[in-house]
Amino acid sequence: MAKTLISIKNLKASIEGKKILKGINLEIKEGEVHAIMGPNGSGKSTLASVLAGREIYEVTNGSVTFQGKDMLSMSPEERSREGMFLAFQYPVEIPGVSITNFMKAAVEQHREHKGLEQLTPSEFLKMMQEKKDLVEIEAKLANRAVNTGFSGGEKKKNEVFQMAMLEPKFAVLDETDSGLDIDALRIVANGVNKLKNKENAFLVITHYQRLLDYIVPDVVHVLYNGKIVKTGGKELALELEEKGYDWIKKEND
Ligand SMILES: Nc1ncnc2c1ncn2[C@@H]1O[C@H](COP(=O)(O)OP(=O)(O)OP(=O)(O)O)[C@@H](O)[C@H]1O
Ligand SMILES: [Mg+2]
């Protein structure tokens, strides 16, 4: 039996007194890919933000246990060091800091936390090269300042590259940007497919059934009005694509 990696129980969260998450229950095991779909404004990005530990959201109830530890009491940095990857925990743009230097700092922090020795410069560059090849990122991207002047697709590539470098146990990917083209979707999908193994897990938030053609999820959830109202296999995503969300809304209003 695969071990439970993350367990979310009756999670409720608000922003500025407005209730957004209204009791989320979700359990993800090692080796699994879960997808969350749902209409605009249902709380998908809020869930991702709460998991990332963004302080603007107030958790009013429930628990999140990650590898047996209380995750809600951890800072975003601690969550990251414990093996959680949330793309937007990183600053959107860091002018003047190259991706190489940024990643070196992040990788060393993680290694220190695990009690590993620092990498030599050549070991680090070798690791960068391996991961670049794995996620098929052009070398020139890594020499640019973090996210400065990046297009949406380039930001996405960089995110997937960061994920590859940090080798997380659990990654949350929020694909809210409807501007992503099919290539960007494919980059995300390839990244997940190449990085997934028996010991890690992914939570992919998406509007696109298309993305789920590339990343085949083990479990699909529908979030509506702050709650998971339906859970199924990959066929649920196809059903949603075909029928839209009206039937979900009718069942739950
Ligand atoms: N900072 C904020 N201030 C006020 N309301 C917010 C804030 N962030 C989110 N909300 C509200 O919370 C609700 C859920 O938003 P959220 O971004 O989680 O939805 P979503 O499911 O990710 O939607 P989408 O599919 O459009 O990405 C929305 O009604 C939104 O307006
Ligand atoms: Mg969103």
| Nearest residue by C-alpha to atom 4 in ligand 1 | 15
Residues 6+ apart with CB under 8 A from 48: 86, 88, 172, 174, 203, 205
Q: Are 108 and 119 in contact (CB under 8 A)?
A: yes
- CATH number for the domain spanning 36: value is 3.40.50.300
| Nearest residue by C-alpha to atom 19 in ligand 1 | 41
Q: Are 201 and 6 in contact (CB under 8 A)?
A: yes
How far, in Å, CA of 57 to CA of 50, rounded?
7
How far, in Å, CA of 241 to CA of 244, rounded?
6
Domain count, the chain: 1
Pocket of ligand 1 (CB under 6 A): 15-16, 18, 20, 38, 40-46, 56, 176
| Range with the poorest average pLDDT among 30-39, 93-102, 127-136 | 93-102
| Nearest residue by C-alpha to atom 6 in ligand 1 | 15
- Which of 11, 12, 14, 15 for mutating ligand 1's site (highest number of atoms within 8 Å of CB)? 15
Give the number of the atom of ligand 1 that is nearest the alpha carbon of residue 205.
22
Share of the chain above pLDDT 90, in %: 51
Give residue-wise pLDDT tens across range 2-17.
899 999 999 999 999 9
Domain with 21, as residue range(s), is 4-252
pLDDT, residue 92, reads 55
- Which of 40, 57, 211, 228 for mutating ligand 1's site (highest number of atoms within 8 Å of CB)? 40
Taking the model in full, what pTM does it have? 0.91
- By the CB criterion, residues less than 5 angstroms from ion ligand 2 are 44-45, 176
> Which of the ligands is closest to the CA of residue 174?
2
Higher pLDDT, 129 or 27: 27
